[in-house]
Amino acid sequence: MTGFGDYAERAEVDGFPYYNTALNGRGNQYPDPNSKFLAGEDSYLLLTVERGGKMTVEIKSLENTVLDRQEFERSVKPK
């Protein structure tokens, strides 16, 4: 997770997500080559974790609109 670029972005490399958000999301966009979501929006990242369950990651606008959403299931450790 970063706040480096002035835009909202989710990129994925080898199945691993990378997120960027910015409170001022109206800057120049220079998307990652592996970008899956890109928007010139003022945004923040919200992580919601259910105890013993899934994790939800949302890129949200400052007006609370969900711009991008991913859910990750809890991995089970082998015994």
Percent with pLDDT over 90 in the chain: 62
* Residues 24, 40: Cα–Cα separation, whole Å: 9
In this structure, the chain runs to a length of 79
| pLDDT at 50 exceeding the cut of 80 | yes
Q: Nearest 5°: CA angle at 65, between 61 and 70?
A: 90
Calculate mean pLDDT across residues 30-59.
93
Task: Note the pTM of the prediction, 2 decimals.
Answer: 0.84
